[in-house]
Homo-oligomer: A and B are copies of this chain.
Amino acid sequence: MEVTRKNYKDCLNTVYSAIEEADFLAIDGEFSGISDGPNASALTNGLDTPEERYTKLKKHSMDFLLFQFGLCTFKYDQTKSKYITKTFNFYIFPKPFNRTSPDIKFICQSSSIDFLASQGFDFNKVFCHGIPYLNQEEEAQLREQTEERRNQHANGVGTPSYISPSSSKGPAHIPEEHKDFINRVVEKVEALFANSEKTLDLEPCTGFQRKLIYQTLNWKFPKGLHVETIETEKKERYIQISKVDEEERKRREQQKLEKEQEELNDAVGFSRVIHAISKSGKLVVGHNMLLDVMHTIHQFYCPLPELLHFVMVFSFLFPLRLLDTKLMASTQPFKELITYTSLAELEKQLKESPFKPPQVETAEGFLSYNTAQEQLHEAGYDAYITGLCFISMANYLGSFLTPPKAYISARSKLIEPFFNKDHVLYVTFPKEWKTSDLYQLFSAFGKT
């Protein structure tokens, strides 16, 4: 399922329930580039220590944009002895929320863009219809601002949100050249009170003129009016004045708060999907997933911390289980059987003996992929075949049991040795540490 800003809100519940019902999730990201320094192969040099790898990626990869996020959910159907899959292909873009919100800059690397273009990537879906997002700090700031306005209003402190803060200071000082304009507005409002119309739309005017109108009307007509700035599709702003009684005024204020709340949720946007994945505690499978995980944290949670803190933030966000299929394929008993560990090659090898092609079926209403017609480098497809690789390898482990089992669940103890729980970087915490230690450390970090 393709998900953009257009259908995002309608899809959200479908996404949530797919995550909720799944046995495991597979993810993949596409980026606007890989490295703004050393070339990509030097950046992921196999000889680096995990610390070096993390530090290099943090320095040279985080200014690119994760602009397509693939999520494939796998739910095992006992009666069919098959996994039922739901694939989502999200397009992501940091569309500024309003004129004061951060104006994100990101780098594009021509070779990466050219490569995606050659694979049929649709850039218009990203740049014209990408789903916005906020990291946790941006979200907190926005919620705080909204909350403050509400409290001020509820306590009668300050002014209602639709009236400028300086509105109650008495008659506004109106510069000579605007006096005619403001007098005409006042005449129109007096006419509004005298006639049977309910609302009056003024002509579009400048921000300064709007401020003068707010100040003047609030002073001249302290009751019985609702004044609001409305933006047209052409981004022109005009003032709408309505005659209202107290009840109507409250109703409108309530409406406005609800609208604000909805806009806030819209602004958090795609981050809500990531929060749902994180909260689900489900096994998350990826292929060579360090960069995907780093971008996910950087873009939807917080700027990347130093390595030690990263491992903690990471454990906090994905408290249960994470598994890298490239790493799994390079580990016993697979290491001896698998020659190439690139995603496309791995998927091919895992269809052949001694492995068995995984039994999967696309859920109704979802687009199905055909692995014979490769759609590599579409994030949804890559997530899908990453999941297939995991299933084949997991089931292969069942052949060692007595009697052998053809299906091994994502919750099986057999899978656990392959988890990257505390060691997405192949770093393991001292065994004597407990999860509670991690949480304690993490919360200390959160305060600094």
**Does A127 touch B at the CB level, under 8 Å?**
yes
Contact A105 B105 (CB under 8 A): no
Check if A301 is an interface residue, CB within 8 A of chain B.
no
Contact of A107 among B107, B110, B114 (CB under 8 A): B107
Residue A103 is within 8 A (CB to CB) of chain B in the complex: yes
Question: For residue A126, which residues in chain B have a CB less than 8 angstroms away from its CB?
Answer: 123
Partner among B39, B95, B108, B116 whose Cβ is within 8 Å of the Cβ of A108:
B108
A151 an interface residue at 8 Å Cβ cutoff? no
Give Cα distance in the complex from A103 to B115, angstroms: 12
Highest count of chain B CB atoms <10 Å: which of A93, A96, A110: A110
Q: How far is the CB of A222 from chain B (nearest CB, A)?
A: 36
Closest to A112 in B: B103
For A106, the chain B residues whose CB sits under 8 A away are 107-108, 110
Let me know if A110 and B117 touch, CB within 8 A: no
The chain B residue with its CB closest to the CB of A63 is B107
A100-126 CB contacts (< 8 Å) to partner B: 103-111, 113-114, 116-117, 121-124, 126
Interfacial chain B residues near A138, Cβ < 8 Å: none
Q: Does A105 lie within 8 Å of B94, measured CB to CB? A: no
Q: Is the CB–CB distance between B127 and A117 below 8 Å?
A: yes
- Interface residue? A139 (CB, 8 A): no
* A128 CB–B CB distance under 8 Å: yes
- Is A361 at the interface (CB under 8 A from chain B)? no
Q: Is A33 part of the binding interface, using a Cβ–Cβ cutoff of 8 Å?
A: yes
A36 within 8 A of B: yes
* Complex Cα gap A123–B94 (Å): 16
Residue from the list B96, B107, B123, B127 in contact with A105, Cβ < 8 A: B107
Residues of B within 8 A of A96 (CB): 110-111, 114
Q: CA of A108 to CA of B114 in the docked complex: distance in angstroms? A: 16
| Nearest CB of B to A339, in Å | 13
In the complex, are the beta carbons of B128 and A117 less than 8 A apart? yes
Closest-CB distance, A260 to chain B (whole angstroms) = 21
- Cβ of A442 to closest chain B Cβ, rounded Å: 31
Report whether A105 and B103 are in contact in the complex, using a CB–CB cutoff of 8 Å.
no
Q: How far is the CB of A37 from chain B (nearest CB, A)?
A: 10
A122: chain B residues at CB < 8 Å are 124
Q: How far is the CB of A143 from chain B (nearest CB, A)?
A: 21
Residue of B nearest to A109 (CB): B105
CB pair A103–B107 under 8 Å, yes or no, is no
Known A-B contacts: A103-B109, A108-B108. Give 19 more (CB < 8 A).
Answer: A39-B103, A93-B110, A93-B114, A94-B110, A95-B110, A96-B110, A103-B110, A104-B109, A104-B110, A105-B109, A105-B110, A107-B107, A107-B108, A113-B127, A114-B127, A117-B128, A122-B124, A123-B123, A123-B124
Q: List 13 A-B contacts (CB under 8 A).
A: A32-B108, A65-B108, A94-B110, A96-B111, A105-B107, A105-B110, A106-B107, A107-B107, A108-B108, A116-B127, A121-B128, A122-B124, A123-B128
* Top 3 A-B pairs, shortest CB-CB distance: A117-B128, A123-B123, A104-B110
